[in-house]
Amino acid sequence: MQQSITISRPAAEVLAYVADLDHWREWLPQLRREETDRPEGDLALDRAAGTVRWEFSPSGEWRVEGEGKVARLTLRLDAETATPNDPTERQTPHDALASGMEAALQSLKSHLERAEGGDPVLHTAGAPQRAYGQSTGEDTDQVSGSP
């Protein structure tokens, strides 16, 4: 199974980030809990091919492509199913894997772009905050210089 996402960062930066297991706890939702151990095993980085492979379960690969300031990150897992995170949720094992992959990609995008949108811990300074559709007191519709 595979999924992709576009990240507004150079491909070399994205590849270096996903190739460092020390960063995985920052963006991988399953590793956010301190009692969850980091995967055992090594990553195989191939800079020329733009890939990072691993053998720990589920084995898989990151593939990074792109030129300039935008990269396309593809996650491929050698699995078709996963155990749902929430046993009360009606989710097939296939859907559970797809959901987990999407969460990981969104979290990576959020971290690498240093913006909100998939990572509940990371916040962008100066971004408008809204609660229940209410503004923070700033008039965001007013154009600078207009009455």
| Residue 137: DSSP 8-state | S
pLDDT above 50: residue 21: yes
- CATH numbers and ranges of domains, the chain: 2-113 (3.30.530.20)
Q: Which residue has the higher pLDDT, 3 or 83?
A: 3
Share of the chain above pLDDT 70, in %: 62
What pLDDT does 111 receive? Answer: 85
The answer to whether the beta carbons of residues 65 and 6 sit under 8 Å apart is no
Q: Is 8 helix (H, G, I), strand (E, B) or coil?
A: coil
End-to-end CA distance of the chain: 54
**pLDDT tens per residue across span 124-147:** 443 443 333 333 444 444 444 444
Look at the pTM and tell me if it is higher than 0.85.
Answer: no
Q: What is the per-residue pLDDT across 50-85, written as a single tens digit (0 to 9) for each?
A: 999 988 878 889 999 999 999 999 999 987 766 666
Residues contacting residue 80 through CB under 8 Å, at least 6 positions apart = 1, 93, 94, 97
* Strand ranges in 68-135 using DSSP code E only, listed in sequence order: 70-77
pLDDT at position 34 is 59
Tell me: pLDDT of 9 over 70. yes
Is 113 exposed, middle or buried (CB count within 10 Å of its CB: 0-12, 13-18, 19+)? middle
108 is written with which tokens?
């990576």
How large is the average pLDDT for residues 26-54? 76
**DSSP labels for 114-127?**
TS-SS-SS---TT-
